[in-house]
Each structure stands twice: as structure tokens, then as C-alpha cells.
Structure 1
Amino acid sequence: MEWTIQELAARAGITSRTLRHYDRVGLLAPSRIGVNGYRYYDFSAVARLQRILLMRRLGMGLSAIAGVLADEVDTCDGLRAHIAALEEERDRIEQQIRSARHTLDALQSGAEPRMDVMLAGFNDDYEEEVVSRWGERAFQESNDWWHGKTLDQQRAWKQDTEDLVAAWVAAAKAGVSPTSEHAQSLAARHVRWLSRIPGTPTAEGDRERSIEMVECLGDMYADDPRFAGMYDDAAGATFVRDALRTYARTRI
């Protein structure tokens, strides 16, 4: 079975122009081109498009997606990863639905919603990463600290975080050197921000593990597309990584 480019675009909820662009950048070529010049796509092309659309939804850029697909040597492995990511997204959404229902039920009954339940599913996106890198205790302490805050306190923390990110982005756009005093003052501010989170090596004053953690976070900012978007682009995330790495190695 094959679909024309118009049929595939309609079923995928995208445009024919998008599919042509994917072909031009080497992301998704048609399975064949007919004598009439029409593009046709078979099941393997559709499976590849599934992966592309999922990664786009996760915020990945086309070059990053191309890198992931280039590293996959087996289509079945790619589909397994696709399913795992969808299942993780499903679990997160289900938790958010339960949290929203709890809030609605409490408000309708005149009761006060539980803060920890209200935000469950919205703030634990990095549990697996934290546990794998720093242990269960680090995650549990930081998670308990977060859910123990009032809503106003959580909003204030998020505003502080957004202000810090905005300062990093402004410095990167200004062409500041990662080793400059300005960049290093931002790195110091970043480390102070980390030290306010219980369970982290910076909060516990563990110098060696703090250096490791700051460098590790810097690498994650540069390598993970989620953070590249947060710091405006890949260049911004790389700037943050380089500044944090310099600070960790010379000033912690």
C-alpha cells in the first residue's frame, strides 16, 4: 500500500510543503517517484514520519531529529523508542488530569485542594534523570521541598528561574565571552540558585560533587534540545555550558 504526498499530508495533519521540505533536508524521502512525477510513500516512510512528528512535538529541531534517525540501525528499535516516549507522555497527561480533577472537586465542595496533588505530574519531568545521576534521595528531598511550597512560593521560584534564564540569553546575544566577569557572575548566580535546592551537592557543600554536577548540567543544557530551546537556541545553551564549566573548574 502506498499513499501520495497529498494523502499522507492529509492523514498526518501537515502540509505537502512540509513533506517536500523534509525531503529537501534529507529527513524523509518519498519511497518512490512515479513516472508522472508524483511522490509515493510506503509503510516504512510512514513509520519514519511517525518518529519525526513525535520528536517535533517534543521540541526537537530538524537537525537533532536527523541525528537521532541517523543513529538508528533498526526500525523496530526506533518504534520501540517511539512507543516508550508516547507511553511516558500518556502517563504524564493522565497524572495531570488526576491533579486537575482533584482541584476541581475540592473547589466545588468548598474544600482546600492539596498543594502536592494539585501540581503532581507538572513538576516531575526530570525524575528519572535526577535519580540516575544523583540518586533517589536527591530527587526525593528536592521533590518534597518543591511540593512543600505554597503556590505563591512556587511562582516566585519560577520567576527567579525565568529571570536567570533571561539574563543568560541576553549575555549570549550580546556576544559576551563565557570566561568574562559578566558570564562568571551569571555562573555564580546559577550555582547559588542550585544551592537553594535541597538534596543537591551544592546545597550540601560537597565541592567535588558540586563541580561534577555543574559540569554535568552544563553538558545537558547544550546536548538536550529541551534546554537549547529554553536558552533561545543551541548557541545560547553552549554559551551557558562553557561559562558554567569555567566557573566549576576555577571558582567552586
Structure 2
Amino acid sequence: MDEEWSITRLAKASGVTVRTLRHYDAVGLLPADRIGAGGVRHYTPASALRLQRILLLRGLGLALSEIAAVVDEEKDAAEALRTHLTGLLAERRRVDRLVETVAATIAHLEGERDMALEELFDGVDPARQAVHEAELVDRFGEEARQHIEESRRRTAGWDRARAGGAVAEYEAVEDAAVELIGAGVAPDDPRAVELMDRQYRAVSAFWTPNRASFTGLGRMYADSPDFRARYDAKHPRLADFLCAAMAAYAEQRLG
């Protein structure tokens, strides 16, 4: 590792915004190690590791004050990461089960294999869906409740093939986003914005978001512990990338 990075370099590497890093500095969660020319903040490898732990804990739904207490008390960084890794591996296993269920369902519909009734629901958690719906209503009020009801009406007549296709499209968009992250593409890059058009159409199969609700959905991906754990299992920057890219798409293309 280099000896230190500017705030811009750390923001790009971590997927968080410069504004967020400045806020973390202001509240004492992640103080800059050095202030350079022009007031530019610089960070050492130790601070980069601290930021990683902060983002992992944020993915678990902790408030910033709670995160500060945890990272300040952690003496053994490796042991702390082992704890986080355990949770991430559990979520990856759950996602892997869902992937296997969708793949098996496609094979079943194409006549390649038979599925028992119980197999159709392997990895599917109705209680988790109810939590997500309640979180949407808490965040966005009555409009979110209307979107949920709209989604139920639209999907009421779907067969298994239609439902499996919708899930597969979400997975494809996420995989494409991971490729963009790996290529160093910024969330507001035209390639990312174009991918979010595909994300918008995938969401619109269930309900039709406007600028505010599509942006809010992206924020929920980044803020919700369940969503962050799911996306972190694919890439540690995926949730924040989707959040920022959806906001850029909404700003540029939605009224």
C-alpha cells in the first residue's frame, strides 16, 4: 500500500462520496491524518482499514454513534473482520440458495428437470419481504404503500416463468454493475447511467417510480442492513454504487 491517499482517491476506492468522508471527519468517526495544501485531507492505510470497518458496520444497520463506539473499542482488526466475514458468508449462502432456486425453476419450466413443491421456496423468506415493505412505508409514507399495492396487483397474474425472469433481470443488472465497478467506472458515468435505465425498467415491471422514489429506493439499498448484506456478498461497493448511479439516472432522465 502507498503511505497515504488524498480524500478524493480514498472516496473513489471505497465507493463513498467525498462529502461523506468529510462528514465522518467532522463528527470524529474518521479524522483525516493530514491536511495538505489547499485544505485537502489525506489518509493513511490505518485509516483506510478503519473506513472499511465503518462501512461493514454501516451495512449491518448500526448508527454512526454505535459504529464509533465499536471501532474505537476494537483492538484486533483481524478478529473484528472475522466477525464481519461470518455474517457476510451467511448472507452469501442465502443468496446462493436463491440463485440455485431460480436456476432450477428455469430448468423445470424448460422441461429439463422436475421440482418438488418445497424446492420452489428454498431461500425465499416472506418475513424478510414484510420487513422491507414496512421499511419502505416508514421511509416514504403513503406513497410507498401505494407502490406496494400496485406491485401486488401487477404480479398477481404472473406465472413462474414471468417471476423467474424478473428475478434473473435484477441479478443480471447487479452483475453488470459489479463489472463496471471492477473497471473503475464512476456511478455517474454514462455507462452506469445507461445500466440504471435497465434497472429502472426492471423496477417498473412491479411499480413505476418517479425521480424521488427511484432515488429513495437506491438509498434504501445502501442503508438497509438486509440489502447491504445481500449486495456486499457480491461486491463491497455494490450497494453504494447502485445508490449513486440510481440517483444520477433519476437526476438526468426522470422528471
TM range (shorter): 0.3 to 0.5
Larger radius of gyration: 1
TM-score using structure 2 length:
0.45
TM-score using structure 1 length:
0.45
